[in-house]
A and B are shown apart, each in its own frame.
Chain A
Amino acid sequence: MFTTGSKYCFGIAGLGSLGAVVYMVLVHPCDVGVLALLGIAIAMSLVGGVAQFTGDFDVDSPNDALTANAVAPANSMWPLVLALGVVLLLVGMTTDPIIFILGIVIIIAAGVEWALQSWAERASSDSAFNRFVRERALTSLELPIFVGGGVAIIAVAFSRIMLAVSPHSGAILFIVIATAVLIVGFLVSVKTNIKKSMIAATCVLGAVVLLVSGGIAGFNGNREELVVAAAEDHYSHKECEAAASEHFDKNSNNAVSMKSGISATIRVKDGKLTAQLIGIDAQVQAVTVQRSNLTTILFRNLDDAQYRLVANLGTKKIADTGVEEAIVDCTQMTGKNQTQALILKISKPSASSGPYTLTVPGLEGQEIAVVVP
């Protein structure tokens, strides 16, 4: 009664409808997910109806289709692996991007393996030849992937160990491991009568020790000094003086490519400070910044001397102390014909603790007002 293609479509439509009902009961009857699932059901019903009406668009009768040979296909684990990949993909969508990516990798790998296995099984009526065909096609893919993966695992495990131990211990450890590898390699090359099983057991033992040690080191985390360094914010207290700062101005990137997101451009030319708003040709002396909104201001220096743009954004009380602290933000030092971006998010209106201004240290007596309505 139903054609092959329409069964597939109607099946998905049925699952979509069932999923929508379950979603309505378990999550929310009026959620977007219900609409999405019902949309799938309706779309697949439509496609299934067309497929049924047109006989699956096939010019060949299903009865005319011939199988390549009469050899029954072998059991395959790849559908199972592919299903696992789909599960990881779906779980990853709602939990962790790494699981999502792992799902994609497994789906692609299982799909390739399954497709090539299926293809090889239909190559001839000789099972042995079919296996040969399969190995010839897949070994060239599998070998580099397995070797690459193995090297990556060893590198990650070793790096975890080196990040966990102190630099001094790391150096000693590195020397010990390198010496052990050298000795083992030397013995293998000199003692040609060593049993292969002995060599394999040594390699496996080394790999297990490395992986276990790497795993333990990974769980324990990096050594203290690295944890402290990672937590430090080198830009929390910017050095906004007229003179160049050894730390803050180091390796400054004086090229900005975010022109379309810029709210205003502040220029220094011939020692004068001017402002221009995007979309307005005239120069202005006040820049309006929307409250609680990320606003990018471009600073362009056209003079020979180096300057930086400083935003003076009122004061705030340091918690529980009553001490007022100036809120200041600034760009790095900017050379001639170079640009820097200053991104501001001001949550209080300028009427509260203003006035807010943009100034350039070294150009005294000049400022651009920042108005936050």
Chain B
Amino acid sequence: MPLRRIGLGLAASSAIFLAGCARNAPQDTWQPKGENAEKINTLQWMVFPLAGIVGVAVFALIAYILWRFRDRGQAIPHQSHGNPAVEITLTIIPALILSVVGVFTFKGIFELAQTNDTQMVINVTGQQWWWEYDYPAQVVNGVEITQPIITSGQLVIPTGTKVLLRETSRDVIHSYWIPALNGKKDAVPGRINLLRIQANKPGIFAGQCTEFCGLSHANMRMEAVALGPEDFAAWIANQQRNAESPAQATLAQEGEAVFLNQCIRCHQVNGLKKADGTAAIAAPDENVYSGAVPNLTHLMSRNTFAGAKFDLLTADCRKNVWSASPDEFGSAYLKGVTSDCLNQTNLRGWLRNAPAMKPMYADPTKLAVSDGKYRGMPNLGLSESDIDKLVAYLSTLK
């Protein structure tokens, strides 16, 4: 083989190999940040090199045989059948390897399935194409959740706590995966699947739906936020508050009126009242196929929206949160989205024409298959003036 071809082959192989060494890889499965992910990491450090050696050896042998014995018009060699010594050896060696791997794998599976020492429970519901989290009433590390908390996009958990996620889905099968905290677990309609996660230190960890779930599967992301005990208590306290109406005669108050006219059909804001003083209750079940859309009561307390696809923070502010040290992370995150950090481009773009930013089944003329209901947010045809007002109002939902 010419030296040049060998060199090209080696260069291509090296490029592929080195592509796995990206520094900024938040979904790296080799960097566990919690007890459960560490168990998986330990197992894969044992299995992966072993499987890699076997795999490379097998592929090299196949390549050699393909090349060495290719058809060159030569006479058919003598054909023989079977070689007991080789066959027995090649059966026993894999069986031994798999037995050893199996012992550690089953041990890991049983340890990861353990739930009897759960310290906190969160219901996780997948739908096209975002995740909803609701926190039932419970006491977590001495902090009492008196009223269920409902949020989306970012899952907030306390550090050093064994958190049990009870997963299900409202429409199709999804799969929840935050590589730094544990393996993946399918969210299946009509079933409750359990996944336990734990974060050692404060920080933010990225994830991605890993079960193909339709048009915007690639845009169905999630982030887990781990806060220290005091910061978590502060977050809980804030989440249990209802939203307050904006001050009189402000742009935000006009935005509230626009919200009551348009957005309340699907989006709930706890504490929001109609003009007659009664509670404004959203009816996503009448407009959206999955029957639920994100609750926006504390929109600006989270850093993302639209299934964690888009940042509510500007690039610099986002970098400050993601790169904060564990000691400073809590205060950086709890600041939420301040006026100088709001990513106006993303939010305005979304309000202007959501389906243009994230593919969704939101064409009003093609809803026959979903009983006339949307799967995703449609283009509401808002005027620029209404968008200004809405941005002002949404900015108050801390």
List the interface of chain A (C-beta within 8 A of B). 50, 53-55, 59-61, 260-263, 277-281, 284, 286, 288, 290-294, 296, 347-349, 351-352, 371, 373
Contact = CB atoms under 8 A, between A and B. Distances in A.
A286 B137 contact: yes
A278 B164 CA distance: 10
A53 B279 contact: no
A279 to B, nearest CB: 5
B166 A371 contact: no
B148 A288 contact: yes
Contacts of B70: 53-54
Contacts of B137: 284, 286, 288, 371
A292 B168 CA distance: 12
Given A53-B70, A347-B285, A373-B150, A294 B134 contact: no
B216 interface: no
Interface stretch (B117-125, B176-184, B336-344): B117-125
Interface in B239-257: none
B115 A288 contact: no
Interface in B291-333: 291-292, 295
B83 interface: no
Contacts of B291: 291-293, 347
25 contacts: A53-B71, A54-B66, A54-B70, A59-B79, A260-B192, A277-B136, A278-B192, A278-B194, A279-B118, A280-B121, A281-B118, A284-B136, A284-B137, A286-B137, A290-B292, A291-B284, A291-B285, A292-B285, A292-B291, A293-B292, A294-B189, A349-B281, A371-B147, A373-B134, A373-B295
Contacts of B150: 373
Contacts of A60: 76
Given A286-B136, A371-B136, A371-B148, A292 B170 contact: yes
A59 B71 CA distance: 11
B292 A292 contact: yes
Interface residues of B, number: 39
B299 to A, nearest CB: 16
B281 A352 contact: yes
Contacts of B116: 281
Given A263-B192, A284-B137, A351-B281, 6 more contacts: A261-B191, A278-B166, A280-B164, A290-B125, A351-B279, A373-B134
Nearest to A290: B125
Contacts of B132: 290
B166 A279 contact: yes
Contacts of A280: 118, 121, 164
B208 interface: no
B61 to A, nearest CB: 15
Contacts of B264: none
Nearest to A292: B291
B189 A290 contact: no
Max chain B C-beta neighbours (<10 A), residue from A60, A278, A288, A348: A288
A326 to B, nearest CB: 19
Contacts of A352: 279, 281
B199 to A, nearest CB: 19
B290 interface: yes
Nearest to A280: B121
B190 interface: yes
Contacts of B154: none
Given A54-B66, A371-B148, A279 B125 contact: no
Contact of B134 (A54, A278, A290): A290
Interface of B: 66, 70-71, 76, 79, 115-116, 118, 121, 123, 125, 132, 134, 136-137, 147-150, 164, 166, 168, 170, 189-192, 194, 268, 270, 279, 281, 283-285, 290-292, 295
B338 to A, nearest CB: 27
Max chain A C-beta neighbours (<10 A), residue from B116, B166, B283: B166
Contact of B115 (A53, A279, A373): A279
B182 to A, nearest CB: 15
Nearest to B139: A282
Nearest to A294: B190
B295 A293 contact: no
B369 to A, nearest CB: 13
A206 B154 CA distance: 73
B136 A288 contact: yes
A275 to B, nearest CB: 11
Contacts of A288: 123, 134, 136-137, 148
A278 B134 CA distance: 15
Nearest to A52: B71
Contacts of A261: 190-192
Contact of B125 (A54, A262, A293, A349): A293
Contacts of B191: 260-261
Contacts of B292: 290-293
Max chain B C-beta neighbours (<10 A), residue from A284, A347, A348, A373: A373
Contacts of B149: 373
B121 A279 contact: yes
A351 B278 CA distance: 11
A373 B170 contact: no
A348 B125 contact: no
Nearest to A281: B116
A293 B290 CA distance: 8
A294 B279 CA distance: 25
B279 A54 contact: no
Nearest to B279: A351
A260 to B, nearest CB: 6
A262 B170 CA distance: 15
B281 A348 contact: yes
A262 B192 CA distance: 7
Contacts of A279: 115, 118, 121, 164, 166, 194
Contacts of A294: 189-190
Contacts of A296: 190
Contacts of B190: 261, 294, 296
Contacts of B290: 292
Contacts of B164: 279-280
Nearest to A293: B170
Nearest to A352: B281
A284 to B, nearest CB: 8
A60 to B, nearest CB: 8
B192 A292 contact: no
Contacts of B125: 290, 293
Contacts of A263: 166, 192
B154 to A, nearest CB: 16
Nearest to B214: A32
B281 A290 contact: no
Please list the 7 inter-chain residue pairs (A to B) with the smallest Cβ-Cβ separation, ordered nearest first.
A292-B291, A347-B285, A55-B71, A373-B150, A288-B136, A261-B191, A352-B281
B168 A277 contact: no
Max chain A C-beta neighbours (<10 A), residue from B79, B123, B283: B123
B101 to A, nearest CB: 27
Nearest to B77: A59
Nearest to B69: A54
